[in-house]
Amino acid sequence: MCNAYCILFGAINLKAEEVKRKRIIEIGSYNINGGLRPLIESYKPSEYIGVDIKKGPGVDIICRAEDILEKFGKESFDVVISTELLEHVRDWKKVVKNIKSICKESGIILVTTRSYGCHYHGHPFDFWRYELDDMRNIFSDCSMERIEKDPGIGVMIKVRKQKEFNITNLSNYKLYSILHNKRVSNIEPAHKLKIDQNKLQNCRSNILNLVNVL
């Protein structure tokens, strides 16, 4: 999944020599409104694998982002691409760790995601918003080659995994949650969330009133 800005970002910042005869993986590859795959495949990589949570256009293997390390193993890819995915995964810390882990030393990671102000868009979920400083902190263990604001209310980065890589500890890092409307370190699974019964009752009343009006 992608937008025009992230396609342009990839076209400008991913060079043919960085892709040719290299192994590429795209995480969250379901093609809804275009993507980087046609461009990257024109650079003739040795392999291009698209993974997502369901079968569809651009998807070669069905796999959760949380499971890619177990599926593919450490340092399996020269280029790791994740466009418009990170806001949709509840356990973003595990997914980021997986992205870094499956990337080879000196390999490239290209990420685009949404920032504060972007509307809720569940595909099928929507949890997080990332700012420029968040991405600098999250990928502080990599060499930042390019970071930009997306005019469509997002952030885009290209980083290179360093040799003698030491992964940043993000266990206590707080990120803005669109669900909680504040920065939190994690979001509990749905079955563990505490529901405010008064708010739930008000919600039910509003729905019933709307139904009656219709």
Q: Is 134 within the bounds of a domain? A: yes
Q: Are 89 and 66 in contact (CB under 8 A)?
A: yes
Q: Is 74 within the bounds of a domain? A: yes
pTM score above 0.75: yes
* Structural domain count, the chain: 1
Q: Which parts of the chain sit beneath pLDDT 70?
A: 1, 190-207, 209-214
Q: What is the pLDDT of residues 95-152, one digit of tens each?
A: 999 999 999 999 999 999 999 999 999 878 999 999 999 999 999 999 999 999 999 8
CATH number, residue 113:
3.40.50.150
| Domain span at 27 | 4-189
What would the two tokens of residue 42 be? 């024109």
CA distance 127 to 11: 28
Q: Is 154 within the bounds of a domain? A: yes
CA distance 210 to 205: 9
